[in-house]
Amino acid sequence: MLEVRDVKKYFGGIKALDGTSLTLGANELKCIIGPNGCGKSTLFNVITGALPPTSGQIIFKGQNITAWPPHKISRLGFGRKFQVPSIFNDITVAENIEIAAMALATRQRLRKTLGHKLDPAVFDKHLGDFGLTAFRNSVAGELPHGLKQRLEILLLILSEASVILLDEPTAGMSQAETLETAELICHIQTKFMTSVLVIEHDMHFVRALKCPLIVMMKGTVVREGVYETIKEDSEIKKAYLGEIAC
């Protein structure tokens, strides 16, 4: 599905990415961890075309998409979630969902169906799955932070993204919200058959995801494995896990 091949990204003398390689299969969930400044967000910037790499390649479904413009990469089915939720704050939850459904219809050149509405049963199911039923008519900008993040993830799903990139999706969440979000991400990946790459710091969240972890340090991938193995790796413990309670 997605392959990052020996990608380097230098900012002057700073080697933000220094030969990063990884793969993400169809309907696969992987989590990238690593200390601050090791290049995680830069990697997402290079994958999504926000930044061209200094060298290396990004391959998507066998096609070399390295340094394509972001709008072209997004059209291939990449959905990216930033740390600050990008939802429409001034309208309701229901209206946010309607707009995402319309945007997809437009993108599929079904312009005639601009009034395109989601099937009401599907609409209600989405609200239920994402814990938003009670907030249907709430103004999105007034939702608690955790629910804003959920709404944004739902909007990505509605855009029919086939690869979802989540950069620290639990930033600013309580521990309960964090664990709920982990469940939600596992649910998305199985139910909507999407591939998900998530960057995360919170080790409770990482453990709850129960997925392969990719450990980055100084711009490269140093380990890949399940939480239980990574947690016991003395080198990683020393360099990273020791910094935060886990």
Between 78 and 135, whose beta carbon lies closer to ligand ADP? 78
CB under 6 A: which stretch of 31-39, 53-61, 133-141, 221-229 binds ligand ADP? 31-39
| Per CB under 6 A, 137 contacts ligand ADP | no
| Per CB under 6 A, 8 contacts ligand ADP | no
CB under 6 A: which stretch of 38-46, 92-100, 134-142, 204-212 binds ligand ADP? 38-46
Pairing of strands 220-225, 213-217: antiparallel
Q: What distance lies between CA 68 and its chain's CA centroid?
A: 19
> In angstroms, rounded to a whole number, what is the distance separating the alpha carbons of residues 194 and 2?
12
Least distance in angstroms from the C-beta of 175 to Mg ion? 21
Figure out which of the listed residues 16, 157, 163, 173 binds ligand ADP, where binding follows CB under 6 A: 16
| Per CB under 6 A, 36 contacts ligand ADP | yes
Instruction: Identify whether the C-beta of residue 205 lies closer than 8 Å to the C-beta of residue 180.
Output: no
Least distance in angstroms from the C-beta of 132 to ligand ADP? 29
| Per CB under 6 A, 11 contacts ligand ADP | yes
Figure out which of the listed residues 7, 31, 39, 177 binds ligand ADP, where binding follows CB under 6 A: 39
Cβ atoms < 10 Å from Cβ of 103: 14
Least distance in angstroms from the C-beta of 154 to Mg ion? 23
Figure out which of the listed residues 22, 31, 38, 213 binds ligand ADP, where binding follows CB under 6 A: 38
> In angstroms, rounded to a whole number, what is the distance separating the alpha carbons of residues 1 and 220?
20
Between 16 and 209, whose beta carbon lies closer to ligand ADP? 16
By C-alpha distance, which of 34, 51, 33 is closest to 43? 51
Applying the rule CB under 5 A, the residues between 21 and 60 that interact with Mg ion are 40-41
Least distance in angstroms from the C-beta of 44 to Mg ion? 8
The residues binding Mg ion (CB under 5 A) are: 40-41
The residues binding ligand ADP (CB under 6 A) are: 11, 14, 16, 34, 36-42
